[in-house]
Every structure is written in structure tokens, then in C-alpha cells.
Structure 1
Amino acid sequence: MPFGAPADPWIPPNLRLVCLDIDDTLVDFTAACRTALAVLLGRSDLWPLWERITERHTAMVVSGDLDYAAAHLRRTQCFLGELGVVVDTEHASGFETRRKELVRRSWRLFSDVLPCLDWLRAAGVLLAAVTNASGAHQRAKLTDLGLARFFDHVAIAGEIGVAKPDPVMFHSVCATLGCTPEEVAHVGDKLHTDAVGARDAGLAGIWLDRGSCGEREVPEGVHVIDGLDELPQLLVSEFARIGVPAQR
């Protein structure tokens, strides 16, 4: 290029696929689970312990050391054990059955979900739900809440053998739907698991920071929105064209 010649302008890529996390992105999962634990145990301060134990057992599912059913039982036994309650498999199974039923009754969509999904469908993009949680559990949730009809693909970490933020998780979704990473945006509520992981895999990483007070540190190359109502404007500003003709 001759000295002083203007640099080629940046041309934003086309958007062909939007990936969305499920829990606490589309569904107010934390509220439902916290409510269920509080009802079962009569106290509301145990959610951080449940989260830590859940993360540990989810990692064992992804690594192939446990299947989901076994992990859920062992998680319950471990959790109750931390509270000084030792239970056998039968009692752990009963606790887990009651907990799941309470959670299922409490599932609610965030108010911005359906308008956003309707807009994405109208824009012609492909949609994928990408989750680290149990496949059967998540598919039932999508069906119960009327969301299954929106998605072209549901990617489950335990079925793929890797979990977000591993790039393989994101790349497998791209490959399944015939897209390159630069044609894909991923939205999720977890900064590092969702947004940074997607960014590092070559996708547009979007952090959905619900309830933010506005004071936050956002890593370079990560986009941030406070609600899904802000997603359409972000996508239009970051991509040259929203959607391509796609077979449904």
C-alpha cells in the first residue's frame, strides 16, 4: 500500500446465527431454584452452597465421569451432607424429585424474551440454545415455556463432551448449522463462561448483565447489554446484514 493511502474500511460481517444461553438468560432459573430450596429447607441462605456443589458435579458430567441422573443424586447427597444430614440414595432421590417439581412450577420467562425471539425470527437468523445443563431437563423447559419452536438447534454440553467456555462447544454449534464463527453471536448471563468464551472462540461475545447498576469492568472485545430488548440494536450496529435466507 502506498504511503499515505487510506486503509481499507472495516466491513462488518453478516450475521447468520444467534446462540442464546437458557438459564438466567431466557428463564429466571435462579429465582425458581432459590424458591424451591427455601420451601424445602425453610431457610433462604443456602443458594451459594448449592451453586458451588452444582458447578462441581456439572464438571464431572461434562468430563464423562458421571451421567446427569447420578450427578443430581450425588449433588443432593453432598449438599445435604454439608448441612449435617446424611441420606441414602432413596432419600436423596425423593428430595431431588420434590425439588425439581417445585422448580418446574416456578419457571418464568423474563419479559424481554419473546419480543426478542420474535424479532430474531423476523430478521431471518438461525437460533441455537447453548447450555451446560442437563439435556432432557433443558428440552423440557423449552417445551413447557413455549420456546422450542424458536430454535433450530439445542446444544447440550453433556452430549457434546465439552462445556462453555471451551471453544469446541461454540465451534460445534457453528459447524452443525453451517456457519463460521465470525457470522455468529452468542448471548449469555455469565461473563466468562458465555461472553469471554464466545469471544475467544471467534464469535461475537455478548454479556447479558441483568440488573446491573452500571458500574462494571467489561473485557476488551466483549459487548454488554442490560436486557434482551437491547440486543436488536446491538446486532444491527455490529453486523452488516441481519440474516440470510435459511431453510426452516
Structure 2
Amino acid sequence: MTRMIKGLLFDLDGTLVDHETAAATAFATALTAVTGSAGVDHETARRRWSELEHHAMDRYLAGELTFAGQRRLRITTLVAELGLGIWDEQKADAWFAGYLRHYESAWRAFPDVLASLGALTEERPELRLGILTNGEAGQQRDKVDRAGLSAALPVLVASSDVGVAKPEARIFHLACEAIGLLPSEVVYVGDRLDTDAAAASAAGLLGIWLNRAGTPARTELPVVRTLRELPALLTELTSDG
């Protein structure tokens, strides 16, 4: 498969920034501040927190909840399930503010990101690079800044800015417009097979699945286990040989 590749867009959370580790670290710290939490199985609570995050974010992206509303839903649901009380919005917001401070301080790029971006820009300086992410634009831009990725990835398109979210084709097309290219000229790399790689390909881009965990799945799309494999894969995809 030979393709003219002029641009490369990345997902953010789980692809460039280690959201799961940051969220787990922040939750472990913030939960200890909750009265009665000493008797809670913290690992079970953490797993449930992650489930609630995905559920609430899906509802936010579907327009069913505000960004603040999905945050409140996550913590009020969890503490009720853990038998830690019924919280009002004020108490939920106060707890989440503390959680957020810990979460932000734990933002880190994955170890393979900076070296891979450096290799890409050295080997293919003509590539136009950017980020396409679901989520609230202000928070996502702060995340990119704190992870030290702003210089390498100057363009960021967030679902809150454009009013549509992945896996809808429209957001992929808007991101291509933001870097001044046609979808057929752009590669999209993300850690979720359906929402990222498959959705990008359905929108006319070339989707690449970043399968860091080595999760078994049947797909004809290109797959990498680490971003270090990306430069060689792009060379293969653009080679006539």
C-alpha cells in the first residue's frame, strides 16, 4: 500500500500523554481525603472510577452533560456506591478540584513520544503535525504544554472547540483542514482501534492503531506497539518498492 503522506495527526490521551497513570495517581491521593475511605478497597474503587470516567465522558461528548456535570456525576456516583454518603454539587466540586490538582501535576508524555517526534521531524521535515482530541480544549492545551509537546505539535483541534467528537468523520475532516491538507494526505495515530484508527480510516485518512498493551484484535489497519516504530512504518507506507 503506497500513499502520499503529507501530515500526521495524533490522539492525545493514551497516545501522547499517559492519562491512565496520571488519573490513577491522582485518584489514589484524593480518595484518602474522603472521610470513611480507609475501609474501602482502593484498587476496586480505582477501577470503578475509570469506568465512570469513560461512561460520563461519553455522555459529555454526546451533549448529554456539561463538562462540569460529567465530573460531578463521576464522584457522586462513586461515593454513593461506596457507601460514603450523598454529595451535593458543592462538595463534589470541592473534591474534584483537589483531584484535578493532583491529576495535572502527574501529566507526563509517554517515554517514546519526544524521541519519536524528533525522529519524524528530522527524517521528514515536510510533515505537518498536530493533535486531534476529544475533550475540553483548555484542559487539553494545558496538558500539551505541561508535557512539553507544544513546539513539536503546534496545531490542536479539540471536540469542545468544533462541536463534534470522534468517531464522527466531520471532526477528522476539520482537523485536516486545520493543517491545510486533504484527508487522503493525512495519517491519524491513536490508542483506540475503533474510535481512533478505524474511525480515521472511515473518514478518508489512514488510521494507525497504537496498541501499547498488545491487545489481541483482528484488523487490517497498520499497527504499532510503540511510537518508535512510526518513522519506519511511514517509510514503508510511502515506498514504491
Q: Which of structures 1 and 2 has the bigger CA Rg?
A: 1
Other structure's SS at 2:73 match: helix
Counterpart in the other structure of 1:150: 152
Other structure's SS at 1:155 match: strand
Whole-angstrom CA distance in 2 between matches of 1:163 and 1:81: 30
Q: Tell me, which stretches of 5 or more residues in structure 2 are unaligned?
A: 33-41
TM-score scaled to structure 1, two decimals?
0.84
Which has the higher mean CA deviation after the structures are superposed, 73-82 or 175-184?
Answer: 73-82
What's the CA shift string for 1:201-248, capped at 9, x where partnerless?
121111111132xx722312x11111000000001111259xxxxxxx
What's the CA shift string for 1:121-174, capped at 9, x where partnerless?
231211111111221111111111211111232111122222111111111111
Counterpart in the other structure of 1:92: 92
Asked if 1:127 is matched to 2:129, the reply is yes
Counterpart in the other structure of 2:65: 66
Assess if the C-alpha contact under 8 Å between 1:64 and 1:161 holds in 2. Answer: no
Residues 1-248 of structure 1 correspond to what in structure 2 (within 5 A)? 12-42=2-32, 43-84=42-83, 85-122=85-122, 123=124, 124-212=126-214, 216-220=216-220, 222-240=221-239
Q: Tell me, which stretches of 5 or more residues in structure 1 are unaligned?
A: 1-9, 242-248
Assess if the C-alpha contact under 8 Å between 2:129 and 2:179 holds in 1. Answer: no
Whole-angstrom CA distance in 1 between matches of 2:79 and 2:134: 23
- The residue type equivalent to 1:18 in the other structure is L
Other structure's SS at 2:207 match: strand
- The residue type equivalent to 1:31 in the other structure is T
Shift of 1:66: 3.2
Whole-angstrom CA distance in 2 between matches of 1:68 and 1:149: 27
Whole-angstrom CA distance in 2 between matches of 1:46 and 1:135: 28
Please give the root-mean-square deviation of Cα atoms over the aligned residues, in Å: 1.9
Identity of aligned residues (%): 32
Following TM superposition, the consecutive aligned residue runs of length 4 or more in structure 1 with deviations greater than 4 angstroms are: none
Which has the higher mean CA deviation after the structures are superposed, 34-43 or 203-212?
Answer: 34-43
- The residue type equivalent to 1:219 in the other structure is T
Other structure's SS at 1:19 match: strand
Other structure's SS at 1:205 match: strand
Aligned length: 228
Counterpart in the other structure of 2:37: none
